[in-house]
Amino acid sequence: MVRSISILGCTGSIGRQTAAVAEHTGIRVAALTANRKIDLLEQQARKLKPAFVAVYDEAAAKQFKIAVADTDIRVGSGMEGLIEAATLDDSDCVVTAVSGAVGLRPTLAAIDAKKRIALANKETLVCAGDLVMARAKEKGAEIVPVDSEHSAIFQCLMGRGAGELRRILLTGSGGPFRGKKREELEGVTPEQAVAHPNWSMGAKISVDSSTLMNKGLEFVEAMHLFGVRPEDITVVIHPQSVIHSMVELVDGTVIAQLGVPDMGLPIQLALTYPERLPSMFAHLDFWKLRDLSFAEPDLVNFPCLRLAMDCARRGGTAPCAMSAANEVAVHKFLRRELGYNRIYDAAAGAVEAVGVTAADDLDTILAADEAARAFVREKF
C-alpha cells in the first residue's frame, strides 16, 4: 500500500472522502490542491498538515497564502502548482479527483514521475485514454481506478490471465428517472436531477448519472483501462447498486463485486492495493437486501448513453468533444440556463460541429475539448 498521497481536487466529494480514508488508514497527505474553495481547503490543510498546497485560481491562491501564513505550508498556484503537487518527491500516489480536462496535464506528469494514479477523474481516460494508457505502460506507472464500477471490474480481474475475459458487465442504477420517457423529462429541475437514489455525489456527476451520460463516460473509461473493445462491454441496469460491476469469463462464469454503495470503499482499495485493511464503512446486510434486479438500458429515452457508445466506437477526439460539451451543458443546466433534454442536444451537436480526428497528442485533445466547450457556450 502507499505511504503518502497528493489529493488533486481535495474540496470535492471524492477529495473529502479521500481525506477521511487517509486519516482512517494512517496514510500521510503530502499535498492538496483545490480550485478556489479556500475556506474548506484551509480547514483541511490545518488538519492534514500537507507540506504543499496548490490553489488553481491565482487570486484565491494569494488569499490562501495569507490565510496559512502562520504555518509551514508551501503554497503554489495555477497549472504549475497542480503539476508540482502531482510530482512531489514525498508522495507515492496521486488521487486525481479534480473534475474536467484540467486533470490531464497533472496526471501525465504524475505518470512520468512513476506515481501510482488513483484515478477518479473520468475525463483523463475519456479524452486521452490512448495517450495516458500508453504513457503509463511505458513508464511503469500503476493506474488503480477509484470509480466504483471500474474498481469492481479491477477487483474481478485480479489474478486473471489475459485470455480469460469474455466481456465486462458494467452496471448502473439507471438514475432517478429510470422508467421515464424523454418527453416527461422536459421540465426536470436541477434539484430533481441531483437527487440520486443510492449514491451521494457532486452535482455534476449526479446530473450525468440521471442522463446516463455518466454510464457512457464509464463505458469509454472501461475500454481504455481494461484494454477492451466497445463490443466487449455490456451495460446492465441494476437499480439497487449492490453489485458494482461484473466480468464474464470465457467459460461462462460471472464474477461480481458487491458492497454497500459508498465511494469510500473503492477509494480505500486504490490506496491500500494490493493489501486490504478494515474500513470504517458499513457492511452489506444480506437480510435487508430484498432483491437484486437487472434490466437492459433504455437507449431511446436516455440518448446520452447511446451517444457515448457511438463516440466510443468512433474513437479519436469524439469522446473528448462529447464529454467537454456535456460538462458545459450540465453547468448551464445547473444554473437554469438550459433545459434538461438540451444537455443531450448540446453534447451530440458538439461532436458533429467539432468533427472527429485522431487523438494522438495532448494539444489536439485540448483543442477538441476547447472547441466543444465554445460550441455549447455560443449555440446553447
Instruction: Name the site residues for Mg ion (rule: CB under 5 A).
Output: 147-149
| Smallest separation (angstroms) from Mg ion to the CB of 167 | 18
Of the pair 73, 305, the CB lying nearest Mg ion is at 305
Of the pair 84, 218, the CB lying nearest Mg ion is at 218
Of the pair 147, 369, the CB lying nearest Mg ion is at 147
Of the pair 10, 146, the CB lying nearest Mg ion is at 146
Of the pair 92, 149, the CB lying nearest Mg ion is at 149
| Smallest separation (angstroms) from Mg ion to the CB of 148 | 5
| Smallest separation (angstroms) from Mg ion to the CB of 336 | 26
| Smallest separation (angstroms) from Mg ion to the CB of 302 | 16
| Smallest separation (angstroms) from Mg ion to the CB of 303 | 20
CB atoms within 10 A of CB 177: 21
Of the pair 123, 149, the CB lying nearest Mg ion is at 149
Of the pair 78, 199, the CB lying nearest Mg ion is at 199
Q: Which residue is nearest to Mg ion (CB)?
A: 147
| Smallest separation (angstroms) from Mg ion to the CB of 100 | 16
Return the HEC string of 235-258: EEECCCCCEEEEEEECCCCEEEEE
Strand-by-strand arrangement of the 233-237 sheet: 233-237, 165-172, 243-249, 254-258
Of the pair 147, 262, the CB lying nearest Mg ion is at 147
| Smallest separation (angstroms) from Mg ion to the CB of 53 | 28
| Smallest separation (angstroms) from Mg ion to the CB of 149 | 5
